[in-house]
Amino acid sequence: MKIHEYQAKEIFAKYGVPIPPGRVATTPDEVAQIAGEIGKPVVVKAQVHVGGRGKAGGIKLGKTPEEARAAAEQIIGMDIKGLKVEQVLVEAAADIKEEYYIGITTDRAARRNIVMVSAAGGIDIEEVAASTPEKIARLHLDPALGLQDFQIRQLAYDAKLPAAATKGIGPFLKALYKVYVDYDCSLAEINPLVLTGEGTLIAADAKINIDDNALFRHKDLAQYQEAQEEDPIEAEAHKRGLTYVRLEGDIGIIGNGAGLVMTTLDVVQREGGRPANFLDIGGGAKAEVVRTAIDTVLLDKNVKGIFFNIFGGITRGDEVAKGMLDAMSTMDIKVPIVVRLTGTRAAEGLKLLEGSALTPAATMQEGAQKIVGLVNNAGQAA
Ligand code: GDP
Ligand code: MN
């Protein structure tokens, strides 16, 4: 689960991390009011669950309450990477001298949590990691020992932080680690950690992602959950009880079993296609589920073809075929559908499909080639 910057800052504040004074608002009037109360230049920051808000124009300075109002008028309602800005954080603008990065995440390969510190903060840390990885000091943590003082000194030294930052960073890293552990985070990050003109450190941004599997241990976070932003098609699919993940391509994929669907995505990709989604209809799916699956995949208007890959175990081929035929006769389906059916009652299923508009395939590979061919040819003809 992702939470907003202002929510993450509330948590960090409880752990003693200095953050700029401020509040969240939903209207330009409220923003002007808060800016007036703060009585200093403020920064107005879009609260959406994506990074790079600064670059997208979602962060603006306001020297007076009127400037803050004008900034809010631009930011509220704005679209950032497909998310509509409903609320903004208004807080005292930091007097930024330097920007650093500190973060903790799970390093799955090392089976350890990893702490990262960089003097190149503020901008996208992924960019720093890709182009100048040596600018990020890293250290794996032993869960039994936690984060030790000598490790903090090592990180500050490796990151070549200036003396003022080295002196002050200890409490920030300790609080970050404590929050990370206490809240079962998959990521806890302060970027930028700001060194002010006065030589003090302050958290100008905060990001916390919480492991969904641990949410039952954090009833206090339920208040943050209703505000989750989700892809609208994913939300609808989950309402319909389907295991669906939206991807960026144009070939809808439906199969039974997560492993089979994952493999199908890979095989379609290898044949030069771009999967539009992951959809696992599970074991023993009945005709109605098949129909719902097709309907859901077609909610994505990018979909130009569907590949059904069914390996019949407890799922019966004739049931799947009935669902497909029902969908074909009752829905207005304009895209080609390729079907690979094998296993339990596959022969009966394929017989039912004879004479329909569906394209049968004997193997997964053949099916992938056929759907990629059909989708790509349609693209050329159009
Ligand atoms: P992100 O782009 O979504 O990560 O949002 P951040 O909160 O990290 O802000 C991005 C950038 O905006 C920062 O790196 C700063 O350069 C700038 N910024 C954010 N807050 C302030 C502030 O209070 N004062 C000033 N001068 N710049 C700020
Ligand atoms: Mn940031």
Which residues approach ligand 1 with their CB closer than 6 A? Answer: 43, 45, 51-54, 59, 93-94, 96, 99, 122, 191-192, 204-205
Report the DSSP beta bridge partners of residue 243.
280
E strand or H helix at 202: strand 201-203
Ligand 1 center–CA 55 separation, angstroms: 9
**pLDDT 10s digits, 335-350:** 999 999 998 898 999 8
Ligand 1 center–CA 42 separation, angstroms: 11
Quick one: CA dihedral 216, 221, 226, 227, positive or negative?
A: negative
**Which one from 99, 189, 271, 319 is the annotated catalytic residue?**
189
**Ligand minimally distant from the alpha carbon of residue 204:** 1
Ligand 1 center–CA 217 separation, angstroms: 32
**Which residue's C-alpha comes closest to atom 23 of ligand 1?**
93
**Ligand minimally distant from the alpha carbon of residue 103:** 2
**pLDDT 10s digits, 152-195:** 999 999 999 999 999 999 999 999 999 999 999 999 999 999 99
Q: Where are the alpha helices (DSSP H) in 89-162?
A: 125-131, 149-158
pLDDT at 135: 95
Site to probe by mutation for ligand 1, drawn from 187, 205, 207 as the one with most ligand atoms within 8 Å of Cβ, is 205
Ligand 1 center–CA 113 separation, angstroms: 27
Residue matched to tokens 């696992």? 280
Q: Where are the alpha helices (DSSP H) in the chain?
A: 5-14, 28-38, 65-75, 125-131, 149-158, 163-182, 222-225, 232-239, 258-270, 287-297, 317-330, 346-353, 364-381
Dig out the tokens for 131 from the structure: 């182009």
pLDDT at 379: 65
Report field, pTM of the whole predicted structure over 0.85: no
**Which one from 6, 30, 99, 101 is the annotated catalytic residue?**
101
Asked about 189 being catalytic, the answer comes back as yes
Q: Does the pLDDT value for residue 230 go beyond 80?
A: no
**Which residue's C-alpha comes closest to atom 19 of ligand 1?**
204
Q: Which of 192, 103, 100, 99 is nearest to 141 (CA)?
A: 103
pLDDT at 176: 98
Ligand 2 center–CA 153 separation, angstroms: 24
**Ligand minimally distant from the alpha carbon of residue 50:** 1
pLDDT at 81: 83
Asked about 101 being catalytic, the answer comes back as yes
The atom number, within ligand 1, closest to the CA of 124 reads 4
Residue matched to tokens 């990020």? 136
- Residues 252 and 329: their CA atoms lie apart, in Å, by 19
% pLDDT > 70, the chain: 98
> Mean of the pLDDT values across residues 275-283?
93
Q: Say if residues 375 and 251 touch (Cβ distance below 8 Å).
A: yes
The atom number, within ligand 1, closest to the CA of 5 reads 7
The atom number, within ligand 1, closest to the CA of 93 reads 23
| Domains of the chain, start order | 1-20+95-227 (3.30.470.20), 21-93 (3.30.1490.20), 231-381 (3.40.50.261)
- Split at pLDDT 50, 70, 90, the class of 44 is very high
Q: How far is CA 207 from CA 16, 96, 193, 284, in A?
A: 16, 19, 12, 41
Dig out the tokens for 133 from the structure: 């990885």
Q: Say if residues 187 and 209 touch (Cβ distance below 8 Å).
A: yes
pLDDT at 156: 98
